[in-house]
Amino acid sequence: MGWADWMVVNQTLEEELELERTVRDVKNCGDEDALKQLCVSLVRTNWHQAKLLKQAVGHIGQFDESMSC
């Protein structure tokens, strides 16, 4: 296993189908207000997850550095 193999996303068939179903639900939604609310929610969630991931990777890097000394 390579050093970055843990970052590869492996999804099951069930997960892939669930994602596709959700995407189709969004594509078929005709309610503009609901789509706006969904978009706002997704932007906020994406920002939060990106910040959390950045902090986690930084913490892992610091831990890895301390273990190599």
What are the tens digits of pLDDT across the range 12-46?
999 999 999 999 999 999 999 999 999 999 999 99
For 25, the 3-state DSSP assignment is helix
For 1, the 3-state DSSP assignment is coil
Rounded Cα–Cα distance for residues 49 and 60 (Å): 16
Model pLDDT for residues 39-50, shown as the tens digit of each residue: 999 999 999 999
For 29, the 3-state DSSP assignment is coil
CB 26 within 8 A of CB 36: no
What pTM does this model have?
Answer: 0.72
Rounded Cα–Cα distance for residues 46 and 40 (Å): 10
